[in-house]
Structure 1
Amino acid sequence: MSRTTPARPVSVEAVFPELAAHRGRTTRLHPRPGRPGMRDSHIGGPMLWPQDEPWPLCREPHRRDDEGYVPDEIRKSRTVGTWPTRRPWPDAGAPGQDGPVPLTGLAQFFRRDIAALACGPDGADLAQIFRCPFTHGPYGERRYLLRWRHSSEAERAERFLAMAPEVPLLRGEDELPEPCVLHPEEVDTYPWAEDGTLPAPLIARIDAWDDAQAAEHGADAASYQGDLSVPPGWRVGGYPSWASTGPMAIGCESCATPMRLLLTAEGYEMGADSHSWMPLEDRDPSLQGKASIREGRSVAQPTRLRFGRDRDLHVFTCSADPGHPPRWVLA
């Protein structure tokens, strides 16, 4: 089933004609639980990974927890709608104490499925995203990996990895992605309106308009950031959202070139002020507004993942050389 974003509650360019010059496009991925294959774009499914190629490992020191969740028990608990039991860490050779840790495969995206996906080095058309299952350092930092491939080369492998290696315990239930199929949809997007992302007089007018809308319509008022600017959820390209940090200039650490947004990962498909973006197919047509949204985690949090304290994870790549290291920004 495809996913269709409802028409915006207000025509933003009718209210602010200057925004036409800043209109962009983003591809909403609309992940929903399913059974993706290794040759599909997906979140949480099997990676297209040649069997003779080593699986990526994190070799840095990790923070140690006393308890965790067994991956298979997480999967079983989700099937029956219960919560998994916390288990003690293994005593000998526990992950995070004395050895490399296999990364968790979060997602893979083919350009043949998502035309807006930027090319990788030498025209690579398959992006694979990984995360270390454990935290690092005193502030609980995370480590991510972007692996680019040429899909035609990878698909010529004689054999493929049937099951990715896993750590025996995960620190949280939300470390294990739920396998999700994607329903890509392109929508218009506009810059976050704060601290230099748009001309200052325009930002002032947007803020004044938001205040007037709230005064007239109360809690049901449309807002620029929540309803007209950047959609929530997983998406490719477009503009970054800056709700937690405020806008940031992201430059390549190798050559100082301004970087472009490759993709955004977000745990939830809507927030308190962004429910108008929920697709029509996930609504009860007999109801209106927020009340029409169908309940259940498969709609609100389909991937089961979290990034930081429910923030957006932006992945930026160098616009001059996509082979330069990406930057991972929680915002």
Structure 2
Amino acid sequence: MEEANETIVAEFMLLGFSGVHDKLQMFLFFVLLLTYLVTLTGNLLIVFIVWVDHRLHTPMYFFISNLSFLEIWFTLVTNPKMLLNFLSDSKTISFLACMAQSYFYFTLGAAEFILLMVMSFDRYVAIYHSLQYAAIMKQRLCIQLGFVSWVGGFLIISSWMVLVYKLRFRGPNVINHFFCDSTPLFQLSCNDTQLIKRVDSILLSSIVLTSLCLTMISYASIFYSILRIPSATGRQKGFSTCASPLTVVVMAYGSCFVLYGRPTGYLSLEINKGVTLLNTVVYPFLNSFIYSLRNKSVKLALRVAFSHNKTKLFPKLCCAP
């Protein structure tokens, strides 16, 4: 397209991991493909089992299923295009697709931070107000908190995305990344990006720091309450209840601060891509394992569900002496 006789960039080229040797690229492709498929399967299983098993119809598992559903979409934003570019020579992405990818990446990321804060509140009520837990965390409140998590992320990022969409690019159009991250887009723009960078910093502070502070306050209160439990068994049970969500919190906020909590240019592009890979591939992969393989209730529900389906599919075989 053209504007004032100057060519406007209509598509970008995502370099991804083009600097890696061809054989290593294919190895990386198969590893990332396998990881993505396992991540997708694991999170789908969590959503499915929480939906069908009435024993998991509790606030904690409602939020866990929301997190798994969010991870499915979060990985869908970046992983398929990244994997496709391993097999493609052009590695191009249209301007609108690039804007959409950037928007949904940060929107779902913001929604996840809000959801992690909500999950910490749920654990705080469960341990600090255990006798009133059922009365406080009613179904209506859980749905409202889940709704706020999703809608909050979309509303917060939308104002920032309007500014990003107004940026103009007249070349070069090469993004040294595997998705349309904000930093390389700002570097390619021919506009003054000082305003949008300030908005970026304000949003980062408002979403990440606020949710982190509230999350840490919840867990500090939880640990204080657990330490006051007289029996060692009770303390162990309390800590084990918080271990999984706290692990997820550390991974999510840790990767975010490494990527976006530093001054621009502090990380090399290759290190930036490596950390982003952890954030978009490894972290969602571990997430499904943290909430399934380490969770006795989920493992039991999966065994019951599969054994029940096996009995329905092969009744004679299962009932044979």
The two structures share one fold, judged by TM-score above 0.5 = no
Q: Which has the higher strand share?
A: 1
Which TM-score applies when normalising by structure 1? 0.21
Q: Which structure's relative contact order is higher, taking Cα pairs within 8 Å and 6+ residues apart?
A: 2
Q: Which has the higher helix share?
A: 2
Which TM-score applies when normalising by structure 2? 0.21
Which structure has the larger Rg over C-alpha atoms?
2
